[in-house]
Amino acid sequence: MRIRFAGVRGSWPRTAPRFARYGGDTTCLEVTPREGPPVFVDAGTGITAAAEQLPRPGGELLLLLTHAHHDHLQGFPSLGPLYEPGWRLTVAAPEFVPAEAAVRKLMEPPLWPLGLDALRSAVAFRRLPAAFAWGSLEIRHHAVAHPGGCAAYRLDESGGGSLVFATDIEWGTWDDAGRAAFARFCREPRPVDLLIMDGQFTDDEIAARRGWGHSSLGECAAAARAGGAGRLLTTHHSPERDDAAMAAVEAALAGLLPGAAAARQGQVLEL
C-alpha cells in the first residue's frame, strides 16, 4: 500500500509560512491499496487537496472516521467528489462513533447550503464490524481513550505492509489493561510496520493537559515499544508549534526512539 499524509495538524489548521515545512492542514491520511479503491482516514482540511488528485471521472472511495470532532470533519464539505456524478463514497466507522449523525448535521443548512440528498454523488454510511475487507486490505478498529470516544484503525495488506493509525489517543489515562489491549492490537496478527500516533504534546507539557485526549512524545515511544512497531511517526501536531518548534520535537523523538519522526504533510510512504 501507498500512504500519503494529506493533513497532520491537530485542533485547527494553520496557513502561515512558518508552518509550511510540516504542514498546516488538519488530519487526513490517504491510503492507496495494491488492489481496490482508495481509503481516506478522517476528513480534516487536508482531504480537499488530496481528493483533487484522484483520477477522474468517478469511482469509489472509503472514508474511515476516527471520531466526530470538528477538526477531523471540517474538510468534508469541500470534498470535490461529493459534487461530481459517478462517485460512490462510503463513510464508515464503528458503532461508538456517531459518523452519520455528525456528517448529516455538518451538511445541513445553516451550516452548509447543500444537504447530502442534493449531492451529485452517492453517499452511503456503514457501521463497521470487527474486521472487514476492502480490496487487498483487511481493516480493523480499536476504541482508544479520548473525550467522546475515538477509534484507532489497523490496515493490513495481503502479502504487504501494515499500519496502525491512532490519532486523538490519550495513552496516559489508560490503565495497564487498556495499554496492553492496544499493544495487542499493534502486535497481532504480526507486529505492525508503522504506528502513526497522536503526539501533540511534549513530555514537559502533558501533565498540565491531562484529560485533553492527546499523548506526549514519550508516551508515543512507549506505545510503539509495547506494540513492537517497526517505525513510529507522530501526528496531530499542536497548532501552536511552528516549523522551528517541530524540528525540536523531531530531535526529541529521535532521542526517545531510534527512527521515530514527526509526520509531514505531503509525505508519501510505501509499505
Q: For the segment 89-145, what is each residue's pLDDT rounded down to a tens digit? A: 999 999 999 999 999 999 999 999 989 989 999 999 999 999 999 999 999 999 999
Q: Return the SS3 of 154.
A: strand
Q: Return the SS3 of 209.
A: helix
- Residue of 39, 18, 22 whose CA lies nearest to 30: 39
Copy the grid coordinates of residue 77: 464539505
Per-domain residue ranges for the chain? 2-270
Residue 5 reports pLDDT greater than 90: yes
Residue 82 reports pLDDT greater than 90: yes
Predicted TM-score (pTM) of this structure: 0.96
The CATH architecture of the domain made up of 2-270 is: 4-Layer Sandwich (3.60)
Q: Return the SS3 of 89.
A: strand
d(CA 224, CA 221): 5
d(CA 159, CA 25): 32
Residue 248 reports pLDDT greater than 90: yes
Copy the grid coordinates of residue 190: 504480526
- Residue of 182, 132, 137, 129 whose CA lies nearest to 156: 137
For the stretch 190-225, pLDDT in tens is 999 999 999 999 999 998 888 888 999 999 999 999
Percentage, residues of the chain above pLDDT 90: 94
